[in-house]
Amino acid sequence: MNAILKMVLQRLGLGALTLIVVSIIISIGVELLPGDLAQEILGQAATPETVAQFRKEVGLDKPAYVRYFLWLGGIFQGDFGTSLANQLEISQLIGKRLQNTLFLASLAALIAVPLSLLLGVLAALYRNGIYDRAVNAITLTSISVPEFFFAYVLIIILAVNLGWFPSLSNVSTDMPLWERVYKTFLPALTLTLVVVAHMMRMTRAAIINLLASPYIEMANLKGIRKFRIIVHHALPNAWAPIINVIVFNLAYLVVGVVVVEVVFVYPGLGQLMVDSVQVRDIPVVQACSLIFAATYILLNLTADILAILTNPRLLHPK
């Protein structure tokens, strides 16, 4: 168990290091953006004096590396700076948005993960049959079609024609849970359609990959039922690749939902980032990017650790 703890700590350290590197890349990227921020915000009519004054106020007159370290230092104290657009504390601004994004991602994951595991297991069980082909075809279609298209189709059918769900997901954190789920359902469903294919196909492939193993043949020769062979003998050994793909998709649910959020006007982090880019609210963009990067790194870390924990050789050493 100690070895595992050591590994977790090692990975955490490595993750932190990656995050620092990412923060440098974000800063350099922002630095490379064309145009002058002060000029942009104050408009063409601003006099050179006001521009200089503004630059001094927000610290733009300092060299890039000084600004970077000031920014980084602030983050370590939980201070992401203030938004240029509306002078609000960024941590406050982001807080609620992040909660909303995570809520949407969790809801989508709650539907998508069990669904794709089930579909994948069944596809492996009835491989090469009609069910298998149908599921493959449907999920492939759903992954190939752009998500905004699905979003609009769902809105037309479920919101406009049938009127079951609202087409706008204007949720807030102080809503009752049930109402929140109800309003978030359509974007969650859209996201599900996008991520199920990948996870389901990996589940199927990882299981089928193992079906030629001697221990599967052994289970067959012990007269074990097919379904049990898949679930009890193949699946436990297939977790590592499946977990990796699941986590990859979970990360996508958090960081890749911009389009869906925009379509449903869902007040999430992605929408905030898009808005901020439009008004050149650079500190907010930087903070969002960093949070996305952290999510990605943290989830991948989880995948690595889970993959190791599902390996009995590592969990139960000799």
Partner 1 sequence: MTSNESKSTTGDLLLEMRGLRIEGQSDEVWQEIVKGIDLKLHRGEVLGLIGESGAGKSTIGLAAMGFARPGCRISGGEILFDGRDLMQVSENERRKLRGVRIAYVAQSAAAAFNPAHKLIEQFSETPTEHGVRSRSEADADAKDLYRRLQLPDPENIGYRYPHQVSGGQLQRAMTAMAMACRPDLLIFDEPTTALDVTTQIEVLVTIRDIVKQFNTAAIYITHDLAVVAQMADRIMVLRFGELVEESDTRSMLSDPKMDYTKSLWAVRSHRKEVEPPTKTDTPIVKVDHVSASYGVVPVLKDISFEIHKGYTVAVVGESGSGKSTAARVITGLLPPRQGQVYYEGEALPADYRKRTKNQLRQAQMIYQMPDTAVNPRQRIRDVIGRPLSFYLGYSGAEREKRVRELLDLIELDPDQFIDRYPGELSGGQKQRICIARALAAEPKFIICDEVTSALDQLVAEGILKLLDRLQREFDLSYMFITHDLATVKAIADEIVVMYQGQIVEQGAKTEIITPPHHEYTELLLSSVPEMDPDWLDTVLKERAHAHELYEKFHAES
Q: Which one among 29, 95, 129, 312 touches partner 1, defined by CB under 8 A?
A: 312
Q: Sign of the C-alpha dihedral, residues 150, 151, 152, 157?
A: positive
Residue 39: CB minimum distance to partner 1, A: 59
Q: Which one among 224, 259, 279, 307 touches partner 1, defined by CB under 8 A?
A: 224
Residue 207: CB minimum distance to partner 1, A: 13
Residue 114: CB minimum distance to partner 1, A: 21
Work out whether 222 is an interface residue with partner 1 (CB under 8 A).
yes
Q: Which one among 6, 215, 227, 265 touches partner 1, defined by CB under 8 A?
A: 215
How many Å separate Cα 235 from the centre of its chain? Answer: 25
Work out whether 130 is an interface residue with partner 1 (CB under 8 A).
no
Q: Which one among 125, 171, 219, 297 touches partner 1, defined by CB under 8 A?
A: 219
Helix H or strand E segment including 300: helix 282-309
Q: Which one among 220, 257, 290, 300 touches partner 1, defined by CB under 8 A?
A: 220
Return the structure tokens found at 273. Answer: 């980032």
Closer residue to partner 1 (CB): 176 or 318:
318
Among the residue ranges 49-57, 197-205, 212-220, 254-262, the one whose residues contact partner 1 (CB under 8 A)? 212-220
Residue 203: CB minimum distance to partner 1, A: 16
Closer residue to partner 1 (CB): 18 or 209:
209
Q: Which one among 6, 56, 133, 225 touches partner 1, defined by CB under 8 A?
A: 225
Among the residue ranges 20-28, 99-107, 129-137, 217-225, the one whose residues contact partner 1 (CB under 8 A)? 217-225
Residue 310: CB minimum distance to partner 1, A: 8
Count of positions on this chain that bind partner 1 (CB under 8 A): 22
> Which residues touch 316 (CB under 8 Å, ≥6 apart)?
none
Work out whether 13 is an interface residue with partner 1 (CB under 8 A).
no
Closer residue to partner 1 (CB): 85 or 224:
224
* Euclidean distance between CA atoms 261 and 250, whole angstroms: 16
Q: Which one among 48, 77, 174, 318 touches partner 1, defined by CB under 8 A?
A: 318
Task: Identify whether the C-beta of residue 241 lies closer than 8 Å to the C-beta of residue 208.
Answer: no
Among the residue ranges 43-51, 72-80, 141-149, 210-218, the one whose residues contact partner 1 (CB under 8 A)? 210-218
For the CA atoms of the chain, what is the radius of gyration?
A: 24
**Touching partner 1, residues 227-286 (CB under 8 A):** 228, 232-233, 236-237
Work out whether 129 is an interface residue with partner 1 (CB under 8 A).
no
Task: Identify whether the C-beta of residue 288 lies closer than 8 Å to the C-beta of residue 272.
Answer: yes
Return the structure tokens found at 106. Answer: 């969790």
Q: Sign of the C-alpha dihedral, residues 2, 5, 6, 7?
A: positive
* Euclidean distance between CA atoms 84 and 275, whole angstroms: 12
Among the residue ranges 51-59, 75-83, 159-167, 310-318, the one whose residues contact partner 1 (CB under 8 A)? 310-318
- Give the footprint of partner 1 on this chain (CB under 8 A): 212-215, 217-225, 228, 232-233, 236-237, 312-313, 316, 318
